[in-house]
Amino acid sequence: MTPSARRFDALVVGGGYIGCSVASALAVAGLTTALLDRGPIPGGASRANYGNIQVQDAELDHSLPMVNAARRRFDGLEEELGRSVGYRRVGNLLLIETERQWALMAARVERLRAAGIAAEMVPAGRLAELEPLLDRRSLLGACYHTDEGQVSPFAFMAAYLQRGRRHGLALFPDNEVVSLDVQGDRVCGVETSGDDFSAGVVILAMGAWTPALGRALGCTWGSRHVHGQALVTESFSRRQSPSDGVLHNHLSSAAFFDSMHDGDPDAGASAVFAVSQTADGHFLLGEAGVITDDLGSGATLRGQAVVAREVLRFLPSIAGLRILRGWAAPVAFTDDGLPLLGPVAGLGGLFMAAAFKSTVVITPWVGDLVAEWVSTGRTSMDLTAFAPDRVIGHG
Amino acid sequence: MTRYELAVVGAGPGGIAAATAASAAGVATILLDSQPQPGGQYYRASADGPVGRRATQRSAALAGLADAKVDIINNALVWGIFPDPGGAGWELAFDTPTGSEAITANTVILATGAYDRSIPFPGWTLPGVLTAGAVQTLLKGSRVLPGKRVLLSGTGPLQLAAAAELTQAGAEVVAVLEAARFTWRAVRHLGALQGQGSRIAEGWDYVRTLRSARVPVRVGWSVIAARGASEVEEAVICPVDAAGRPNDHAAETLAVDTIVVGYGLLPSSGLARLAGCAEEFRPELGGYAPQRDARMETSRRGVYAAGDGASIGGAALAEVEGAIAGTAVAERLGKLSQKAAREVFDHHAPVLARERRFGRMLGALFTPGPGLYTLADDDTVICRCEGVTLGDIRRVVRDGALTVNEVKGLTRAGMGDCQGRVCEALIAGIIAIETAGRADDSAALQAAGRFTARAPQHPISVADLAALE
């Protein structure tokens, strides 16, 4: 540690959803806290996110207690944060085109309901009423979740940052962490492309950038990422009568689960249907995904075109809407579908929180969790299944 | 996808020179332009054909282009530049009246020209307030007069040109307001006038036209507000000091139906930014422009930028930069020997130096003072596409959003059709006023950053994108 290092009680690395929430919670808990990011804050893949509060894609074996606890945190959250985050309740339809998808989703629905999560299978006939804009011709039905929602991503992160700053949170954008400062078996700071920082605890909330830091430390941190692409259109309500252009649910394809089972994520630029509408009428169109080493935010021509084609299969009536822009972001995942969440064994003071299935839903809860861990040294929820050690290799 | 060795974007003086130089040397070249015919804003032909000095220049440029056998696609608005997945260059996607298309090219020359710099003031979004560029397009493109009683306000010689053209077309120009106050610092730029005989003659023509029509030119004045129920009915004007600060105690009101504003030009550099070209901060622009080497190549290999799209300097500079870029591409692709290319570069060097000197002079004399950026009030719209006001932006800046991208995320400013081309510099200026006390504080402007460029750069329909194979 250089003598010039800036000293804090806690360092949070990564200025996306998780980092903003954790840093804010630690500042509120009274710790002097710094939030660092390699780029802007708020930053990372969260800048590219739809803002959906999703439970439908939860991993079933270990994650349901966490997701259940987490989704309840949205009740009263805006009062707690002292400002609007654009929170609203929205349903979710996972569109089913094949018998195989129907069977997969039906099995999931049973497990979700047993855990107390609202979910039901609906036949194609009901979709006319649930989502009039849908072209139902290729659909057998859908898996319907009534209990989901949406926030405005930027308002959500800004609310955490603003609360954090009121409690002394310091922000350090454009400081890329290049190494951890380890003394004995404890982490006691980080070195960045800018300043050096020292602290008693370091929380890594780096999403897809997690493995790169592992490599810098000579370790293998085994998460990967999908380079995902999406587009946004003009607001439907500006062009048409408002009632014509409204989506009542988030829409996505059960093929997300299907392709996971097929295990063919490397097959070029392919798109899986995923469409939401923002509160002010813009359609978010996605998503094309390829597994690459690319951590950039640049779209590809082919990716944008396949998204548009896939979207029109289900929503032909938005063909004339104009696309305002597209983007891409690297989204972390693990092969077992479980997050990297918990203290890192053998390195005291280091906590990892990354590679969640749906990040927004988990965001407020992770802040609480890390604050609890920092102040008590333990967590009331059992994190064994999520332990980062399962993917960490040395040398 | 059709493959070319070179794609030139923009058929103004710079793009025409670039395509002509490269194609004449044997480079398989395509020229993509958003307008119905080549020429750009500078050579824009009026319905009954161009007249005067420019007509001769235009004919020569177009004849050279035709001789060089360049493939030209008119009405093609380029909305995306992507690295070619095959690694051999770049994909360019463009919208046409019949849908979107794409081509690939080993190299690209961006000659995308400029757009008008805007300075917001109360009422600037009323119908009847236009930019000088828009007025020229109306006059030359479709011979439409924007109004009957016209006030021009802004800075720089383009205003005089627009005022003269309006007068000749039959409008009553009530006044031309020049916000810049010339001081003795102007003297050190006198040398830049050397070799600018034709420019001076053109300027003198404008002045003569305005004199004979008895149009008052008021130096050190600016419009500060436009008023009207549903369109412009009157303009409020007042003297401004050397820093652009208005003295509204001396304000006057003029009855007009049209206000033409022209505060200079900003490079249209969205495609360069989208391609990932490194940019540098330019204080005279209050914003960013692509970095280039002596041969007009940007930081991205094979991507060149020429003319006002990279650095504001006018048509003559664009032409020379275009010729240099086209020659550099021909040399890179092995169509010209090093020696032959060197001869071309040497030939252009004196004009390049002369025109850059002149461009610097215009920048130094006619950069709007920071005080002009304080005209807007909390109800003034800053992002016209999304209807975001100064008050909206100030609120989030005071809540801690200190970069243009944070402001964008929280207010939607810059998220509309134009992707922030108009409001990026304005928002950076607002942040600079809040954090450093003045709109032209370079450090504060740089800290505010710039918008991320995204494809599509211009809106296209979902159906058109879906039809791209």
Tell me whether residues A325 and B455 touch, CB distance under 8 A.
yes
- State which amino acid sits at residue B89: G
Among chain B, residues having any CB pair with chain A shorter than 8 Å are: 80, 82-83, 85, 91, 93, 102, 276, 396, 399-401, 403, 405-406, 409-410, 412, 415-417, 419, 449, 452, 454-456, 459-463, 465-466, 468-469
DSSP string, B397-412: HHTT--SHHHHHHHH-
Lowest mean pLDDT among A242-246, B91-95, B465-469: A242-246
Tell me whether residues B400 and A158 touch, CB distance under 8 A.
yes
**Mean pLDDT of the region B406-413:** 93
Model confidence at A264: pLDDT above 60? no
What is the predicted pLDDT for the residue at B196? 83
**Mean pLDDT of the region A240-268:** 70
pLDDT digit string (tens) for B265-277? 999 999 999 999 9
Q: Which residues of A touch B460 (CB under 8 A)?
A: 322-323
Q: Is B342 helix (H, G, I), strand (E, B) or coil?
A: helix
Q: Which residues of A touch B399 (CB under 8 A)?
A: 158, 162
Tell me whether residues A40 and B449 touch, CB distance under 8 A.
yes
What is the predicted pLDDT for the residue at A261? 44
The secondary structure element, H or E, covering residue B208 is helix B197-212
Q: How far apart are CA A163 and CA A204, in angstroms?
A: 20
B170 alpha-carbon distance from chain centroid: 27
Nearest to A301 among B80, B399, B449 (CB): B80
Tell me whether residues B409 and A158 touch, CB distance under 8 A.
yes
Nearest to A312 among B276, B456, B462 (CB): B462
Beta strand pairing status for A177-183 and A52-53? unpaired
Q: Is B205 helix (H, G, I), strand (E, B) or coil?
A: helix
What is the predicted pLDDT for the residue at B47? 47
Nearest to A158 among B401, B455, B463 (CB): B401
pLDDT digit string (tens) for A101-118? 999 999 999 999 999 999
pLDDT averaged over every residue in chain B: 92
What is the predicted pLDDT for the residue at A394? 64
pLDDT digit string (tens) for A373-386? 999 999 999 999 99
What is the predicted pLDDT for the residue at B329? 98
Tell me whether residues B406 and A301 touch, CB distance under 8 A.
no
What is the predicted pLDDT for the residue at B139? 86
CA distance A157 to chain B (A): 10
Q: Torsions phi, psi of B333, nearest 5?
A: -85, 5
Q: Torsions phi, psi of A350, nearest 5?
A: -110, 130
A326 and chain B in contact, CB less than 8 A = yes
Contact yes or no for B174/B150 (Cβ under 8 A): yes
CA neighbor of A294 nearest in space, from A270, A328, A326, A317: A328
**Mean pLDDT of the region A268-287:** 88
Q: How far apart are the first and last CA of chain A?
A: 23
Q: Which residues of A touch B386 (CB under 8 A)?
A: none
Q: How far apart are the first and last CA of chain B?
A: 9
CA neighbor of A315 nearest in space, from A254, A245, A228, A258: A245
Model confidence at A243: pLDDT above 60? no
Instruction: Tell me the two tokens of residue B305.
Output: 């930028």
Q: How far apart are CA A275 and CA B462, in angstroms?
A: 13
Model confidence at A262: pLDDT above 60? no
pLDDT averaged over every residue in chain A: 91
> What's the pLDDT band for A5 if we cut at 50, 70, 90?
confident
Q: How far apart are CA B26 and CA B28, in angstroms?
A: 6
Q: How far apart are CA B414 and CA B449, in angstroms?
A: 13
% of residues, chain B, pLDDT over 70: 97
What is the predicted pLDDT for the residue at B187? 67
Contact yes or no for B19/B73 (Cβ under 8 A): no
Model confidence at B340: pLDDT above 80? yes
pLDDT digit string (tens) for B67-88? 999 999 999 999 999 999 888 8
Tell me whether residues A324 and B469 touch, CB distance under 8 A.
no
What is the predicted pLDDT for the residue at B287? 87
% of residues, chain B, pLDDT over 90: 76
Model confidence at A8: pLDDT above 60? yes
**Mean pLDDT of the region A248-261:** 82
**Mean pLDDT of the region A132-146:** 95
Q: How far apart are CA A19 and CA B445, in angstroms?
A: 27
DSSP letter for B198, please: H
Q: How far apart are CA A233 and CA B416, in angstroms?
A: 10
% of residues, chain A, pLDDT over 90: 78
Which tops the pLDDT comparison, A392 or B141? A392
Model confidence at A263: pLDDT above 50? no
So what's the ipTM on this one?
0.93
Long-range CB contacts (< 8 A, 24+ apart) of A72-79?
A73/A364, A73/A365, A73/A368, A74/A149, A74/A361, A74/A364, A77/A364, A78/A159
What is the predicted pLDDT for the residue at B286? 81
pLDDT digit string (tens) for B91-137? 999 999 999 999 999 999 999 999 999 899 999 999 999 999 899 88
Max mean pLDDT range (A284-298, B7-21, B41-55)? B7-21
Model confidence at B221: pLDDT above 60? yes
> What's the pLDDT band for B50 if we cut at 50, 70, 90?
low
> What's the pLDDT band for A271 if we cut at 50, 70, 90?
confident
Instruction: Tell me the two tokens of residue A330.
Output: 């690297």
What is the predicted pLDDT for the residue at A184? 92
A292 alpha-carbon distance from chain centroid: 18
Q: How far apart are CA A42 and CA A49, in angstroms?
A: 12
Q: Is B282 helix (H, G, I), strand (E, B) or coil?
A: strand
Q: How far apart are CA B308 and CA B111, in angstroms?
A: 7
Omega before B456 within 30 of 0, i.e. cis: yes
> What's the pLDDT band for A140 if we cut at 50, 70, 90?
very high
Which tops the pLDDT comparison, B197 or B246? B246
Q: How far apart are CA A85 and CA A311, in angstroms?
A: 28
Instruction: Tell me the two tokens of residue A73.
Output: 């945190």
Q: How far apart are CA A163 and CA A25, in angstroms?
A: 9
> What's the pLDDT band for B49 if we cut at 50, 70, 90?
low
Q: Which residue of A has its CA nearest to B416?
A: A324
DSSP string, A292-349: -S-------HHHHHHHHHHHHHH-GGGTTSEEEEEEEEEEEE-TTS--EEEEPTTSBT
Tell me whether residues A301 and B401 touch, CB distance under 8 A.
no
pLDDT digit string (tens) for B158-172? 888 899 989 999 999
Global pTM reads 0.94
Say which residues have a Cβ less than 8 Å from residue A386's Cβ, sequence separation at least 6: A62, A338, A339, A340, A341, A342
What is the predicted pLDDT for the residue at B193? 77
Q: Which residues of B touch A162 (CB under 8 A)?
A: 399-400
> What's the pLDDT band for B207 if we cut at 50, 70, 90?
confident
Contact yes or no for A226/A331 (Cβ under 8 A): yes
> What's the pLDDT band for A222 if we cut at 50, 70, 90?
confident
Model confidence at A226: pLDDT above 50? yes
Q: How far apart are CA B42 and CA B265, in angstroms?
A: 13
% of residues, chain A, pLDDT over 70: 94
CA distance A6 to chain B (A): 21
Contact yes or no for A117/A68 (Cβ under 8 A): yes
**Mean pLDDT of the region B405-423:** 92
> What's the pLDDT band for B65 if we cut at 50, 70, 90?
very high
Q: How far apart are CA B214 and CA B262, in angstroms?
A: 21
DSSP string, B353-407: HHHHHHHHHHHHHHPPPGGGGG---TTSEEETTTTEEHHHHHHHHHTT--SHHHH
Q: How far apart are CA B272 and CA B274, in angstroms?
A: 5
Count CB-CB contacts under 10 A for residue A31: 21
Beta strand pairing status for B99-110 and B303-305? parallel
> What's the pLDDT band for B191 if we cut at 50, 70, 90?
confident
Model confidence at A356: pLDDT above 60? yes
Q: Which residues of A touch B419 (CB under 8 A)?
A: 324-325
> What's the pLDDT band for A269 if we cut at 50, 70, 90?
low
pLDDT digit string (tens) for A161-194? 999 999 999 999 999 999 999 999 999 999 999 9
Model confidence at A265: pLDDT above 50? no
Count CB-CB contacts under 10 A for residue B91: 21
